[in-house]
Amino acid sequence: MDKRELVRSQSGVARTQRRIVEREDKNALKEERDALKKFKRNYEERMGEIFHDPRWADLFGDDKFVLIDVGAQGGLEKEWRRVTPLMKVMAVEPRTKLGEGLTEADFDVTILNIALDSQSGERELYMAGSMSSFLRPDLDLCEQFDLKPVTPIPRSLVKTTTLDEVVRQQLLRFVDFIKLDTQGTELHIIRGGPLTVGEMAIGMRVEVSFTQLYESQPLFADVDVHVRSQGFDLIDLIHFVRRRHARTGAADKNALEVANGRLLQADALYFRTPARVKDHLEKLRRTNRARYLAGAVVACLTYSKLDLAAHYIHEAASLIEPRSSALMLDLLRCAVPSESVA
């Protein structure tokens, strides 16, 4: 075999090896995806049972898990429907007609027909269908991505209040989680809750934008800097919203259906840093510490952040009763194999 034949032979072997590796990689990736799907299905089934466990009463007592749902028009999100046996929902929505699932809810819900902002006052509300915002939409951008713009109701003003004021008026001793979906004013609402956000909530789900769909709208970077300054970590980005450009000229639009489009929005999932959780526990009465930590565990379970829940329990072990710590770990083990939280 001459040199050229040897090179060709080696190249053929190399190509064959690459194909084998590629097939193995694809098979491994498929197996990993299938395993993840199976885990999610099983996890959701377990969650439906775990939150009915009567042992949670030993941790929560008379203080239910509190979710403040700001922008509740669409009803309770599916992640939280499993938690309803333990939960009290404060559904905040400025319009009197709420979405299906809240007006005749079979769980503990208080409907607050109010609007939240950075301060109390009055503002004009822009509306379109099920969406509303205090911010005027960028009509050019709406056209660019074929979005239905919101339009102002003439001379329509709504009274506003703050997140901290809601907590004070409702006499809430605990606020465990906050969900914000207000079409661009999420940061304004967060700034109106220095006590609720800075000291009480263990986690938040905040709709964030990566481009200004509304005039003067704070973007993800603005929200992220402020929320982190309040003692939170960004844990995940979920529920992505992508849209393709509508102005494509003579291009075949059917051919562009495969285009992934531009990332416009997502939901940012924030949880309190373990250090801040520990600091807050030290400030609480010892009788309230297990209740606060139980809220953190439930929030983590809701979004399948089991490692974070285990971290919280571990960091707080010296601050709560051993029995409460053991009970939380046992409830956590109901969701995953015990070796995952050992």
How does pLDDT run across 228-287, given as a tens digit for each residue? Answer: 999 999 999 999 998 887 766 656 566 556 567 889 999 999 999 999 999 999 999 999
189-243 residue pLDDT tens: 999 999 999 999 999 999 999 999 888 999 999 999 999 999 999 999 999 998 8
pLDDT at 257: 63
Return the CA Rg of the chain.
24
Please tell me the predicted confidence (pLDDT) of residue 292: 97
Kindly provide the b/e burial profile for residues 278-290, where b requires at least 16 CB atoms within 10 angstroms of the residue's own CB. Answer: bebbeeeeeebbb
CA 226 to mean position of chain CA atoms: 17
Structure tokens at 3: 């040199």
Q: d(Cα 181, Cα 74) in Å, to the nearest integer?
A: 10
Question: What confidence score (pLDDT) does residue 339 get?
Answer: 46
263 vs 67, 137, 161, 210, 267, CA distance in Å?
28, 18, 32, 7, 12
Closest CA to 163 of 71, 60, 285: 71
The runs of H, that is alpha helices, within the chain are: 3-50, 56-60, 78-81, 139-144, 163-169, 186-191, 194-195, 220-229, 274-283, 286-302, 306-315, 322-333
Which residues touch 71 (CB under 8 Å, ≥6 apart)?
A: 92, 93, 179, 180, 181, 182, 183, 207
Residue for token pair 């003067």 = 216
- 171-192 per-position pLDDT tens digit: 999 999 999 999 899 999 999 9
User: Does the domain spanning 63-245+254-286 belong to CATH 3.40.50.150?
Assistant: yes
Q: Which range, of 96-105, 107-116, 321-330, averages the lowest pLDDT?
A: 96-105
pLDDT of residue 258: 57
| More confident of the two residues 83 and 22 | 83
What six digits make up the tokens of 12?
A: 């053929």
Q: Per the structure block, which two tokens stand in for 331? A: 């409830």
Per-residue model confidence (pLDDT) at position 254: 61
**Where do the structural domains in the chain lie, given as residue ranges?**
63-245+254-286
Helix (H, G, I), strand (E, B) or coil at 224: helix
Distance CA 203, CA 175 (A): 9
Q: How confident is the model at residue 335 (pLDDT cuts 50, 70, 90)?
A: confident
- What mean pLDDT do residues 31-54 have? 78
Residue 205: what pLDDT?
98
Task: Tell me if residue 204 falls in helix, strand or coil.
Answer: strand
Written as six digits, the tokens of 143 are 């056209």
Sign of the C-alpha dihedral computed for residues 262, 206, 193 and 227 taken in this order = negative
Q: With pLDDT > 70 as the criterion, what percentage of the chain qualifies?
A: 80
Hey, what amino acid is at 172?
L
**pTM for this structure?**
0.84
Question: Which of 46-55, 92-101, 103-112, 333-342 ranks highest by mean pLDDT?
Answer: 46-55
Rounded distance between C-alpha atoms, residue 73 and residue 156, angstroms: 19
**C-beta separation of 218 from 184 below 8 A:** yes
Higher confidence at residue 292 or residue 135? 292
* One-letter amino acid for residue 4 of the chain: R
- State residue 136's pLDDT score: 83
Quick check: 55 pLDDT over 90? yes
Phi-psi group of 129: left, alpha or beta (phi > 0 → left; psi -120 to 50 → alpha; rest → beta): left
- Give the mean pLDDT of 153-161: 73
What helix, strand, coil percent values describe the chain, rounded to 5?
Answer: 45, 25, 35
Find out whether 268 and 187 touch, Cβ atoms under 8 Å: no
